[in-house]
Amino acid sequence: MIKANGIHHIAIMAADIREHIAFFSDVMGFQLSALFDMHGVPGGVHAFLHMDDHSYFSVVQLPAVKDIPIQLGVTHAGTGAGPSAPGTMQHLAFRVDTLDDLLAIRDRIRTKGINVIGPMDHAMCHSIYFAGPDNMTLEVACSTVPIDPRAWIDPAVVEKVGITPAELKTFTHPDTYAGEGGAVKQPPYDPGKPHQAYPEAMYKAMIAAPDDLILKSTKFEPPVKVTA
pLDDT for res 79: 84
Whole-model pTM: value is 0.92
How many other C-beta atoms lie within 10 A of the C-beta of residue 222? 8
pLDDT for res 1: 84
Q: Read out DSSP for the chain?
A: -----S-SEEEEEESSHHHHHHHHHHTS-PEEEEEEEPTT-TT-EEEEEEEETTEEEEEEE-TTGGGSPP-BTTTB-SSTT----TTS---EEEE-SSHHHHHHHHHHHHHTT---EEEEE-SS-EEEEEEEGGGEEEEEEE-SS---HHHH--HHHHHHTT--HHHHHHHHSPPP----TT-PPPPPP-TTS----S-HHHHHHHHHS-HHHHHHHT----SS----
pLDDT for res 163: 96
**Rounded distance, CA 128 to CA 45, Å?**
30
Query: CA dist 128 to 77, 107, 141, 169, Å?
Result: 17, 11, 7, 33
pLDDT for res 214: 93
Fold of the domain built from segment(s) 7-66 = 2,3-Dihydroxybiphenyl 1,2-Dioxygenase; domain 1 (3.10.180)
pLDDT digit string (tens) for the chain, length 228 residues = 888 889 999 999 999 999 999 999 999 999 999 999 999 999 999 999 999 999 999 999 999 999 999 999 999 998 878 999 999 999 999 999 999 999 999 999 999 999 999 999 999 999 999 999 999 999 999 998 999 999 999 999 999 999 999 999 999 999 999 999 999 999 999 999 999 999 999 999 999 999 999 999 999 999 999 988
Task: Write down the domain spans for the chain.
Answer: 7-66
**Rounded distance, CA 60 to CA 44, Å?**
7
